[in-house]
Homo-oligomer: A and B are copies of this chain.
Amino acid sequence: MFFLNILLLATVPASLALWPIPHTVKTGQSNSGAQCIDISAKGDVGDIAKSAIDRYTALVNRHNFTAPLDYKKGITETDGVVSSLEVSVDDQLDTLDLDTDESYTLDIPVDGISTLKAKTPYGIIHGLETFSQLVFANGDNKAIFNTPVHIEDSPAFPHRGILLDTARNYFSVVSIKRVLDAMSYNKLNVLHWHIVDAQSWPVESKVYPELQEKGAYSPDMQYSYDDVDCIVKYAKERAIRVIPEFDVPGHTFIVGKAFPELVSCMNKQPYWDKYAAEPPSGQLNIAKPETIEFAEKIFAEYTKLFPDAVFHLGGDEVNRDCWNEDSDVQQYLKDNPDQDIESLLVDWYSKIHEYLASTGKTALTWEETLFHSNYTPPKDTIIQTWIDEQSIPKTVAKGYRSIASPSSSYYLDCGHGSWLSNNDGNSWCDPFKTWMHVYNFDPLANITDASEQKLVIGAEVAIWAEQTDETVIDQRLWPRAAAMAETAWSGKADASGHVRTTSEVASRLHEQRFRMVDRGIGAEPMQPLWCVRNPGSCALYSDS
């Protein structure tokens, strides 16, 4: 059986090594020159598609990539020339949200004009990426192999994201754009921007300027309104939504730098671990009406700055001891004997969710809001699960939409050991998540009911930044985020229902990794080059 696998893998033509793999691919036996591809719009396709056409015209014609398996291929005879790609779109409306149609159809003849059709500009963007992955170096020229090619494609999940944490360590706008570029190469479509946290508040606030003045690491480690607009626009041009997270009531030490009166258990030392998951400790004081007012003003400001219909309000890792030992909270509870921490928290959650709803946004929140408090979120709330893989089935069983981010499979920062300076032990979420481990996770595991499966709207890997900054972001994310990207775009199984194995997809992911490196993304290598070139020879069969 494995011999057959080895044979199959070894003979996969490079032109089929698309990542993520499309829903349907039909290929022929011919090869076509692609020396100079003119990509043009048929009719008005709108600004988003136009900018993608310009981008991929430059990429396809500059790019001169040889697949790692083709290192000895030499020059291939061609039977025709693909001179151009004609792009057309049914609806040039550029709304980008959970309901956006991302499908496309791509036809490449042996000779003549290729066509790319989509319902929306965002389908065009994904189709252009697929097309770009089909153009290879052929000596000094370029070629598309195994023509004619017919591809019909659409994603398995509408939410395919990366969480980027710009609070523990700062990421320049340039480095965030590079993340967005690499995301578009893998058809990922959500940047979950965990923009502020206990350690810093890099984003400009016009309502509370003190937050950034006292909370940003430095004047050159900030995101102005213009920076945010620039990143949101850059993302949208790559079919990527930007969902900001403003985490309350926990993880808010940094708010206390500007407004000490709003925050409980500010930076308790040395025993911070009684009050927070990591230093510095600090939570909005839920006994004070002023903290509701603060949260509402923050939400009012940033729901306007960030156009996406979904807004993440955190709600994770709330620590009761932080409030139990706060004298204000204690006084309040003494004055209100009918209340306790739990009821305070429920009231607090109710008010901020109510307020967020009033802005017209959909709330996205970490699973604790649903599972670790007595609060019942509005039914349209999206729950991001991270603590337990079983939280996904539990969430959809309660009728809520779920985004799968289990730390056990999707936390790409894990396995790097403790970062506490006197602790030479492991990290809480060891071990390291290999690309195979990421790939093998199934967001739909243990969900049999079709309507409940529909409630799993997607998957998101997270790169928390305690041990990451822009010097290392490329290799922390890639190719592991690409492994999740295929699971989320192509699904776990092929058309025949066969669940793809990591041995089967390794060669394609190697190619995608080398393609990313060729495009300037410092993705890490998965194996010795010898293994890349000898598919199936670097797997373990003894115990399988």
Contacts and interface: CB of A to CB of B under 8 A. Distances in A.
Interface stretch (A73-81, A188-196, A468-476): A468-476
B416 A168 contact: no
A199 B472 contact: no
A529 B217 contact: yes
A312 B289 CA distance: 71
A420 interface: yes
A285 interface: no
Interface in A268-326: 269-274, 278-280
Interface in A108-141: none
A544 interface: yes
Nearest to A418: B434
Interface string A375-405: 0000000000000000000000000000000
A268 to B, nearest CB: 10
B279 A199 contact: no
Given A270-B539, A422-B501, A524-B472, A531 B440 contact: no
Given A434-B424, A525-B469, A419 B271 contact: no
A503 B467 CA distance: 17
A239 to B, nearest CB: 26
Given A430-B431, A523-B471, A436 B415 contact: no
B436 A525 contact: no
A502 B418 CA distance: 12
How many copies are assembled?
2
A432 B434 contact: no
Nearest to A421: B506
Contacts of A544: 422
Interface string A525-540: 1111111001011111
A426 B524 CA distance: 17
A542 interface: yes
Which 6 pairs across A and B sit closest by C-beta, in order of nearness?
A417-B434, A424-B436, A199-B530, A168-B528, A421-B506, A270-B541
28 contacts: A71-B218, A168-B528, A169-B528, A198-B530, A200-B530, A217-B529, A217-B530, A273-B542, A274-B542, A279-B531, A279-B538, A415-B416, A417-B432, A417-B433, A418-B436, A418-B540, A419-B527, A421-B436, A422-B540, A422-B541, A422-B544, A430-B431, A432-B432, A466-B528, A467-B526, A467-B527, A469-B529, A471-B525
Given A272-B537, A273-B542, 16 more contacts: A198-B530, A199-B530, A199-B531, A217-B529, A267-B537, A271-B542, A415-B416, A421-B539, A422-B544, A423-B436, A423-B539, A424-B436, A468-B525, A471-B474, A471-B523, A472-B475
